[in-house]
Structure 1
Amino acid sequence: MSSLRVGPAVSLRGCIRVPGDKSISHRALLLAALAEGTSRIEGFLPSHDCLATLRCLEALGVEVTFQEPTTVTVHGRGLHGFDPPREPLDCARSGTTMRLLTGVLAAQPFRSVLTGDPGLNRRPMERVAEPLRRMGADVQTADGHAPLTIQGPKNSRGRLHGIVHRLQVPSAQVKSALLLAGLYADGPTTVVEPAPARDHTERLLRWQGVDLRVEGPAVTVYPPARLPPFSLRIPGDFSSAAFLLVAALLVPGSEVTVTGVGVNPTRTGLLDVLRAMGAEVRVSYDSASGPEPVGAVIARASQLSGVEISGDTVVRMIDEFPILAVAATQAHGRTVVRDAAELRVKESDRIAALVEELRRLGARIDPLPDGFVVYGPSSLHGGILDSHGDHRLAMTLAIAGLVADGAVTVQGAERIQDSFPGFVPLLEEIGVDDVEWSDAAGGSDRLADGP
């Protein structure tokens, strides 16, 4: 087990770039694998989660080569070119890998098994399995969880059926799985969302020329004859940038600019909330050159006030609630989060884990069934904390160390590599001097580089 020690910071300054977007990296790999021909992806995120997707695709016969550390070439096999896997496909800790691959494998004429680490195998999978069964696939779960056993349709035409499915809980992963399965259907497939989840899959499919239509909450895909290859530059991950932007807001005298970052409006709910709290944060948009909006985000140290968050905004910032909670500990007044019960079935129970660890630092935070309440401002103290095997919680607690009165040590910090390789070097780049990474063998280094 690795640990990360972060001490109080004085002032943060810099203009930086964060690694490529994790959500887009997963989807770009999958769609390039389903294309007929060779695709080139720049800005690919070589995190543990994305590499799990890559390894699963290789086990299905897809050739993926690295031209540079973050540039990959994918030799697509077409919609019907995958090889049957010789053994269960290991999704490691990646829910995105498991759920999106389930959608694709549900249309294949062979049996496959998806499994993962114990934490992933505890996450709910019936929400994706049930609609795929309605489409004609045989998807078996282990009491609603992984391992998943998947067999494509056995009807005379060997095709899935197009359906209309209403999501009970907003989920970009389930939506994407059904849209990917819809590429193989005998007619249109429609997913109706209760709130607009991230739309990277839709944007990429349109980028490939697929007939995909959005009418209010309904997203409909019409099955194409083929998918063409593409060239794509993936923008920086807003969810990664969020840690550094919040750090700049909280440490007095700071100003940090993150360039080349994705600013898709289905992902930037945090910016709206921070502005409502009084944060000085702005976006400078780049000229459009791909399926995603990109820009620079500038954050300057600000006095914050508490707010209440619920409804559609929750979906647009579901991954940013841990770092928002740290911001709320330094805000004046009460910050209330509701309608975020999905946080309880992430890599950890993020509500319970967040409350437990921030209380150890002296924060006044109470759990709710579907969120939490933070009373600020609080003086945070140093301490030894647990990541609970959750990459976002590990980075959140590290940022808390910047505004505590003593160093914070996060145990289980190796999970940071699931989404943000290079997190520690970027902290140093913006002026964090008191930071030390210790590996599982007991050695230490000032920096922790990505894979």
Structure 2
Amino acid sequence: MEIRRTAPGAYRIHGRGIHGLAPPDGVLDCGNSGTAARLLAGVLAGHTFSAVLSGDASLRSRPMRRVIDPLMAMGAEFVTSRDGRIPITITGTDELLPLDWSSAVPSAQVKTCVLLAGLHASGTTTVVEPCPSRDHGERMLRGFGAAVSTAAVDGSLAVSVEGNAPLRPTAIAVPGDVSSAAFPIVAALLADGSEVELEKVGTNPTRTGVLDALRAMGADIDEEPVAGAGAEPMANLRVRGRAGRLRAVDLGPEYAPRTIDEYPALAMAAACADGVSRFRGVGELRVKESDRLEALRAGLVAAGVAARVDDDDLLIEGTPLPRGGVRIESSLDHRIAMAFLILGTACAEPIEVVGAGTIRTSWPEFGADMRRLGAAIDTGTAAP
């Protein structure tokens, strides 16, 4: 496959079609990205060669069984290291079977993995989820001409794709990542008198739980849609901070599929809100880049904020001025690192994050960009 950079932030990709990839020369290193590992597994399952997927220490601790099981049911073969975790060796086939797969946990990564494998199967592949998860995969596949359909089934959502149909090339406009945008948004909300504008942020409704939650907390966030955004809607967001304005919120489990990566930022807002916030049904935080549920609880308590875990719920009692003045481990998790650096800007004493270099995973310029906005984040505690 040929990938060429044509301008800053712009790439031209010459694809090889269904079943068209060549065997890799070595191990495919996915770094810290669970998304890369799981989606690549779906693509590789439809090719007649073996490939090894690996990654960093954090990725090697994350579950892969949830994608291995459906891909094996379609005919791919796997050799795993332990408990179905990477490194894994995938041996695909050009005779993948179509599949009807019910996922117990709504997961966009699992769904998209199976749909990508389904492109290489003869027939219709369907994934059934208990509730809708993020739908970037379906939107992108439709843009390439894939026959993707959705249907309600007994209170669940079924997403199907027709296999072995040719795909057409297309232009894709990638919006700003709302998961990353959540951090400067919360930082602005915690700074009295601040006003920050973020341009072309993705506002896909399966991803905007964080904006809905912050507005429920009393956040002042204006949204101006960007015209001609394409399959993925985007908007310019204007955020205004007012000290003491945020109030506690009780978020039901229905928020989790569209907010799961934004809970670290939301937890920092809850830490400074009036009252006790409860995030329900967030057990999936335990199997992210770290055990985010425990990392958030422990870090907040260390910073002087009352927090506890009740089964799969996270409860946070806000305070207008958290104590801070502590060192917090990032747990090799970029979102945990960014979250507590943001909280540190609202504390009586600064917070030092150990291992904040992991922020490079998703936002290499985070420290510099936040300082440009006026945040007191030192280069010694932020990512380079």
Indicate the TM-score class for this superposition, using the shorter chain for normalisation: over 0.9
2:33 to 84, 87, 94: 94
State the match for 1:319 in structure 2. 261
Q: Secondary structure at the match of 1:113?
A: strand
Q: Counterpart of 1:424?
A: 367
Structure 1 residue aligned with 2:180? 240
1:407 and 2:350 are equivalent in the alignment: yes
Runs of 4+ in 1 over 6 A off after TM superposition: none
| Counterpart pick for 2:18 among 62, 79, 83 | 79
Once residues 366 and 289 of structure 1 are traced to their aligned partners in structure 2, the CA distance between those partners, rounded to angstroms, is 41
Q: Does the Cα contact within 8 Å between 1:363 and 1:379 map onto a contact in 2?
A: no
Give the structure-1-normalised TM-score. 0.80
Confirm whether residue 136 of structure 1 aligns to residue 79 of structure 2. no
Matches within 5 A, 1:14-413: 62-142=1-81, 143-153=83-93, 158-216=94-152, 217-302=157-242, 303-377=245-319, 379-380=321-322, 381-413=324-356
Q: Deviations over 1:381-433 (max 9, x none)?
A: 2222211110001100110111011222211111111011221222122222x
Of stretches 275-284 and 257-266 in structure 1, the one that deviates more from structure 2 is: 275-284
Amino acid at match of 2:194: S
Corresponding residue SS for 1:326: helix
Contact 1:383 1:407 in 2 (8 A): yes
Q: Structure 2: how far apart are the matches of 1:430 and 1:89?
A: 37
| Structure 2 gap ranges (5+) | none
> Secondary structure, in 3 states, of the residue corresponding to 1:328?
helix
Contact residue 146 and residue 165 of structure 2 kept, 8 A: no
Secondary structure of 1:416 counterpart: helix
Residue 131 of structure 2 aligns to a residue in which SS? coil
Maintained 8 Å contact 2:356/2:383:
no
Q: Which runs of 5+ in 1 are unaligned?
A: 1-61, 440-446
Is this contact kept in 2: 1:196–1:312, CA < 8 A? no
Q: Which has the higher contact order (CA 8 A, sep 6+)?
A: 1
Provide the C-alpha distance between the structure 2 equivalents of 1:176 and 1:85, rounded to a whole number of angstroms. 22
- SS of the equivalent of 1:203 reads helix
- Deviation sequence 1:326-368 (CA, Å, 0-9, x none): 1111111110112111100001000111111121111111123
User: Under a length normalisation based on structure 2, what TM-score does the superposition of the two structures give?
Assistant: 0.94
Kindly indicate whether the alpha-carbon contact (under 8 Å) linking 1:210 and 1:224 is maintained by their aligned counterparts in 2: no
1:168–1:194 contact (8 Å) kept in structure 2 = yes
Letter in 2 for 1:126: R
Q: Which moved more, 1:295-304 or 1:97-106?
A: 295-304
Give the Cα separation in 1 of the matches to 2:125 and 2:228: 29
Deviation (angstroms), 1:85: 1.8
Note the C-alpha offset of 1:435: 2.7
Please say which of residues 199-208 and 84-93 is displaced more in the overlay. 84-93
Cα deviation digits, residues 190-216 of structure 1 (max 9, x gap) = 111112111111001111111101113
The answer as to whether partners of 2:19 and 2:120 remain within 8 angstroms in 1 is no
Q: How far apart are the structure 1 equivalents of 2:201 and 2:183? A: 13
- Asked if the contact 1:310/1:337 (under 8 Å) is kept, the reply is yes
* Letter in structure 2 aligned against 1:223: G
Structural RMSD (CA):
1.6
Q: Is the 8 A contact 1:362 1:379 kept in 2?
A: no
Q: Which stretch shifts more, 254-263 or 80-89?
A: 80-89
State which drifts further: 419-428 or 257-266. 419-428
